[in-house]
Chain A
Amino acid sequence: MSEIELKSEYYKTLEENLEKYCIPIEAIAKAKESIQGPEEALFELLVFLIT
């Protein structure tokens, strides 16, 4: 199902965000809410704004 994965300069996965913010990969479970939560919330906000 990789064909349907969303890829964008403006949407990052948790792994990509850890790399972007220089956070150790070992923090992946702990950073899910604090780092990926805002990414997902921003995506939801974008959807609200464009529909």
Chain B
Amino acid sequence: MDHANKVMIEQSQQRNQNFIDIYEGRMPKKIPIAINIDGAAALEYAGKNLILDQYSADEMIEAMDYTNGLFDTDLVVGFSSRLPSYYKILGARNYVMGGDGFMQHPNINGIEPEDYDELINDPVKVCWEKVIPKFYSELAKPAPYNMIALLKMYVSMKNVMAKIGPAAAHIAAKYGKVTQKFYSKRTRAPFDLLADTFRSFTGISIDIRKYPQKVLEACEALLPLVLKMGIPAEKPSKTIRVGIALHMPTFMREKDFAKFWWPTYKRMVEYITEAGFGVYMFCEDDWMRYLDYLKELPAGCEMQFEYGEPKIIKQKLGDKHIIEGLFPISLLRTGSIQEVERKTKELIDILAPGGNYIFNLDKGILRASDAKVENLQTLLKCIREYGVY
């Protein structure tokens, strides 16, 4: 083994260990960095054509390699699982390519209010029989057209992942990035799944007024489904995190949140942690009015915040949970190098003392225009130098 390889292996091991230490409740040597860059942004940073190159695993791998070399992130970045080939084959209405090649996610409802009883009785059945044909025109066709379309899409996905998986491992080794799998399955809060997949943002907002009992029963019925979605197949460990992006709460009145959203979510998180896994949740938007609820969750939850007051979040939750996020991505787009450095140190000074902190932005980098190269490089260098315990 040559010297460069040995250095990279040691770097990977140290970066793995920083995450392990955080998840197991110890102080790491350095602040782990969970910054993520989407596949679209990676293609753009690499100078690829977003409209054309998302159809090629080889082009995406080149872009991943380039982007991971460009930015010294802890995690391997630069891949998106929402590829246009899958959605084109299926005639998707829920994911469509925009004029610039970026995949858009229109707000459509999978079921109507009169379908609530069927949903409550068997959510998976409703997914296959009502939601899937509504989301995908090719799957609404009779057999064998729908069978052929689904199989083609599945093979496309398998073919892509057969290349991406080994490439990601190679990139991790090449650049000394995290090699351990910390982020496992993703799931949703029951109410969010009800809103996002079945009734849409506008539909659920009406339903909690017109059919409150049905909404409550539907959240209960969806609890086994979201748990099945989220519980990993691996041996339980607090280092394995189940990802949950939290969508609806900041659009709700607190009394509606407390009645409809929170109870099944809390039970879901309790179940995942009792099963021996950790939870990573992305608290979208501003959660300041819900911090006391988050404090009720089992200790050790990883919470990424988008907006909010870092000092108050640290003060209220920092002893119990792992805090993450809050660095404004807008500063990477429009700020100067000096402003990026100043903000990085300011956040580390507030959030890092005592541990329980992972550095992250307020949201992922979706497009290259979200972050100037020199600003993101400055940010990462600053965390590495300043974020030492």
Contacts and interface: CB of A to CB of B under 8 A. Distances in A.
Whether both chains belong to one complex is answered with yes
A50 B110 contact: yes
A50 B197 contact: yes
B124 A11 contact: yes
Contacts of A47: 229
Contacts of B135: 49-50
A49 B124 contact: no
A13 to B, nearest CB: 11
Contact of B136 (A7, A10, A49): A49
Contact of A46 (B128, B224, B271): B128
B160 interface: no
A51 B154 contact: no
A8 B123 contact: yes
A29 interface: no
Contacts of B233: 40
A4 interface: yes
A51 B188 contact: yes
Nearest to A46: B127
Interface residues of A, number: 19
Contacts of A26: none
B124 A10 contact: yes
B132 interface: yes
B170 interface: no
B223 interface: yes
Interface size class of B (residues with CB under 8 A): 20 to 34
Contacts of B122: 7-10
A1 interface: yes
B109 to A, nearest CB: 12
B225 interface: yes
A8 B271 contact: no
Contact of A10 (B110, B128, B227): B128
Contacts of A10: 122, 124-125, 127-128
B271 A4 contact: yes
A39 B55 CA distance: 28
Nearest to B233: A40
Contact of A8 (B124, B132, B197, B223): B124
Nearest to B275: A1
A22 interface: no
A6 B128 contact: no
Contacts of A40: 233
Contacts of B225: 6
B26 interface: no
Nearest to B129: A10
A44 B286 CA distance: 31
23 contacts: A1-B271, A3-B224, A4-B223, A4-B227, A4-B271, A6-B224, A6-B225, A6-B228, A11-B124, A40-B233, A45-B154, A46-B124, A46-B128, A46-B132, A48-B81, A48-B157, A49-B132, A49-B136, A50-B110, A50-B127, A50-B135, A51-B188, A51-B193
